[in-house]
Amino acid sequence: MIVGEMREVMRTVRRAATTSAIILITGESGTGKEIVARAVHRFSKGPSWPFVPFNCTAVPRDLLESHLFGHRRGAFTGAERDHPGVVRTAKDGTLFLDEIGELSLELQPKLLRFLESFEITPLGESEPVHVNTRVVAATNANLETLVQQGKFRSDLFYRLRVVPIHVPALRDRRDEIPSLARHFVAKAAAADGKGHLELAPDAIELMTLYAWPGNVRQLNNEIRRLVALADNDATLTAEMLSPEIRRRRIIGATDDDAMTISFDGTLGAATARLERQMIGAALRKHSGRLDDTAKALGLSRKGLYLKRLRFGL
């Protein structure tokens, strides 16, 4: 079930998918940017069309152009056969360019020309080739900062950022953690033949309080470890979690703003106390400036207003 911040993300995905606009997905590593890109593809193209992911860091820079745009046999030393390139492979489907911030300055103008005309000229060919494809790019880098540093072209940045979609960090989507954890447990248990595994309430509570610097990927890996070491049809308890998750203090909090949560009572009550403390601390940090506070907490201004109303802040 999609809840909280990701519900808003998916609403934007559904709206954007009905257009041909280029989409730029941003967010920390491990937040699920490729999942969002696949959702764009599913809502716009459907599973019968190709979805072609390409990580811009996976290929040496001197071979990146030929991998993207293709080449003819003999176009350069080592080109022993024709290669269509990932752009042509994604014809009529979706091309997902991951880690776009790592693209070299030398190749950025060629990508820009493709995004403007949707034509490519493979190495060794003289005539351009038109390729009809949807383009979705993603990065965990701050492209605006890279533009200021001269490491990323401003015209390419604005060409990519037609529809920006930001995927919040998992620490800003704590209401998703219980359902995500249960989903990963069920999936891993089925894959490992562990029968029916359950998460104990104390384990869910600790996972909800943890900051998850590695985001959804880290949560999934933690669940995989738990399931791998569990007996069949077992209950996964707090004692089985990694030491850093068992700490009461939220990772990343300063000594002045450290927050502790009592483990007495329900998960809902603990989460409410946590939210109240975080909102209060953020309001103090930003001297009551609502726009800055909402941005720091990953909330909309309306969302912050409703939570302050709820908690009497």
Residues 33-49 have pLDDT tens digits of 999 999 999 998 777 89
Return phi, psi of residue 60, to 5°.
-55, 145
Tokens of 3: 């809840």
Give whole-number Cα distances, 41 to 20, 93, 187, in Å: 11, 8, 23
- Give the residue, 139 or 3, on which the prediction is more confident: 139
Helix (H) or strand (E) run with residue 96 in it: strand 94-98
How far apart, in whole angstroms, are the C-alpha atoms of residue 168 and residue 6? Answer: 8
- Give the residue, 248 or 197, on which the prediction is more confident: 197
Length of the chain: 313
- Give the residue, 288 or 147, on which the prediction is more confident: 147
Residues 58-88 have pLDDT tens digits of 888 778 888 888 766 766 666 667 778 899 9
Q: What is the pLDDT of residue 130?
A: 92
Q: What is the pLDDT of residue 250?
A: 45
Please, what is the average pLDDT of the chain?
87
| Spatial CB neighbours of 173, under 8 Å, sequence gap ≥ 6 | 4, 5, 6, 298
Residues 126-175 have pLDDT tens digits of 788 899 999 999 999 999 999 999 999 999 999 999 999 999 999 888 88
- Give the residue, 32 or 302, on which the prediction is more confident: 32
Q: What is the pLDDT of residue 284?
A: 83
Structural domains in the chain, sorted by start: 4-168 (3.40.50.300), 170-245 (1.10.8.60), 253-313 (1.10.10)
How far apart, in whole angstroms, are the C-alpha atoms of residue 303 and residue 275? Answer: 12
- CA 313 remoteness from chain centre: 31
| Spatial CB neighbours of 291, under 8 Å, sequence gap ≥ 6 | 301
Q: What is the pLDDT of residue 256?
A: 47
- Please determine, for residue 253, whether its predicted confidence score (pLDDT) is greater than 50: no
Torsion of CA 202, 241, 220, 26, to 10 degrees: 80
Q: What is the pLDDT of residue 252?
A: 43
| Spatial CB neighbours of 299, under 8 Å, sequence gap ≥ 6 | 307
Q: What is the pLDDT of residue 162?
A: 96
Contact 135, 97 (CB under 8 A): yes
